[in-house]
Amino acid sequence: MVGNRPIKFRILELCNGGKWNYEIVEQIQKEYGLKGNFQRDSINFDIIELASGGMLKDVEVKVDEEGIYKKGFLLHKYELTDFGKIRAADACLMYV
Amino acid sequence: MDLKALKKQEHQKRVKYGYMWALFCAVLWGLWYIPGTTVWVLNPFDEMYGEIAAGSGDGVALIIVAVLITAFNALTVIVALAVWNGVLGKFGEMKRTVKEFHPCSKWFFMASIFGGPMAILGSFIAMGFVGGAFAAVAALMYPVVGSVLAQKWYGEKISKRAYLGIAFIILGGITIFGGGLITELGSGNVAWIGYLGGLMAAAGWGIEGAIAGKGLDIAEPDVGLTLRFLGENIIWWIIIVPILAIVGFPMFKYAFMAFEPLTLMVLVFAGITFGFCYVSWYKSFPLIGVGRGQGIGNLYGLFAVIFIFLFFGDVPAWTILLGGALCLAGSSIMFSEDTGEMESLRGD
């Protein structure tokens, strides 16, 4: 059952334990078969939208020194907020 | 650069993009009133108006014609959006989203009820009965509805400064709205149904924004918006237009006549401006919040007045200029807000 629900649902699911944005993007690209930089940025924008919507919060930030994602830019580690858990539960995702 | 500075820079960039999208929305939305006003005098709509008015009176004729125009508007918008989603490669995501009816697409279909038969129909009625400039500024009140609903319903934060900006915008709207009304009251001939259309637009768009925000939380804006217009097309073309045809209005006769070059071009212009104004509108919400997105989008009132002046040469009354200035002031107040301390737009 991979890659058949809306991308943002899956992002919420992945962030339950806390995850770095480049890890999320990589996994989503793989699961949904989305290739290329445009899709990569598009997925990252989904994460940003979820964060500014208050469903994710960044718990850790570091500068991308080695260019894992984009060199010189920030990498964010996200975790689900309480509000995010409620919204995820509305979307029938499994959380305690 | 240290981490803190980078973080601040990134946040500011995000907010800047949100405001940029909202401003795009305002320009496109303002442009929409050009085809929206023009289409009324084009055939088959002009002819249709004449035929229905002869049998059922002016008021009924206007509403029925407005329904057909709004239905065509929805149709050209969805064509524009289909192209947009095709280019972005989002049809797969659309399929995934539409299947999630309960948590997600339900909200977009609900938003289409308030956005379509309430807000857009109301706007066309106001354009037909009172005029484009009026229709544009009458709807300026919608951020009040939107902001209050968003705050009460899902606890979106609205800062004191944003309240002040919204207050200015509303004051501007009232000045423009009241100015036209007082002039008409003086002449003893008030097109009440047109003013009702203006109110429908304001309330409809405010409610739509707040409802759509609920589904947008967890969906792609481009996809959500297309579903919202899919809903509107269903409402018009599968429910309302056939019902009106069964009741005896010549809906399909004139619908088929709309496929002539000039009319079609104007309708497509309406579809493109309106479709992309919605794209930008929805994109701004997750970045700066429904209240602020709507507040900046509100500059469309001013743009509409300017465009109508440029295209039709209608010189606006002083009340419109004063009101427009107030709207601009209000939006600037919201614009200059320091969002640094606002990490998230919502409370936990």
B23 and B296 in contact (C-beta within 8 Å)?
yes
Lowest mean pLDDT among A79-83, B47-51, B153-157, B199-203: B153-157
Say if the Cβ atoms of A54 and B102 lie within 8 Å.
Answer: no
In chain A, the domains with their CATH numbers are: 7-90 (1.10.10.10)
Q: What is the per-residue pLDDT for B104?
A: 72
The share of chain B scoring above pLDDT 90, in percent, equals: 19
Q: Domain residues for B286? A: 32-335
| Arithmetic mean of pLDDT, B280-298 | 76
B320 and B137 in contact (C-beta within 8 Å)?
yes
Q: What is the per-residue pLDDT for B156?
A: 67
Q: What is the per-residue pLDDT for A86?
A: 83
Sheet bearing A56-63, strands edge to edge = A19-20, A74-80, A56-63
| Arithmetic mean of pLDDT, B244-254 | 89
Instruction: Please enumerate in sequence order all residues whose Cβ is within 8 A of that of B79, keeping only pairs 6 or more positions apart, or say none.
Output: B268, B271
Tokens of residue B319, six digits: 């009340």
ipTM of the complex: 0.83
Residue B22 placed within a domain? no
CA distance A80 to chain B (A): 11
Q: What is the per-residue pLDDT for B342?
A: 47
Confidence of residue A94 (pLDDT cuts 50, 70, 90): low
A56 and A80 in contact (C-beta within 8 Å)?
yes
What tens digit of pLDDT does each residue of B328-340 get? 787 677 656 555 4
Q: B283 vs B157, which has greater pLDDT?
A: B283
Residue B4 placed within a domain? no
B201 and B134 in contact (C-beta within 8 Å)?
no
| Arithmetic mean of pLDDT, A6-22 | 87
- The total number of structural domains that make up chain B: 1
Nearest residue to B46 via CA among B120, B119, B128: B128
What tens digit of pLDDT does each residue of A25-68 get? 988 999 888 888 888 888 988 898 888 778 888 888 888 788 77
Query: A12: nearest CA in chain B?
Result: B218
Q: Using CA atoms, how far apart are residues B169 and B186, in angstroms rounded to an integer?
A: 26
Neighbours of B84 (CB within 10 A): 17
Say if the Cβ atoms of B218 and A61 lie within 8 Å.
Answer: no
The secondary element (H helix, E strand) that includes residue B87 is helix B58-88
**Residue found by looking up tokens 């899956």 in the block:** A10
B204 and B124 in contact (C-beta within 8 Å)?
no
Cα–Cα distance list, A88 to A15, A45, B224 (Å): 11, 18, 17
CA distance B91 to chain A (A): 11
Tokens of residue B34, six digits: 């050009």
Identify the residue among A49, A56, A62, A69 best suited for mutation to test binding to B, counting B beta carbons within 10 A and taking the highest: A49
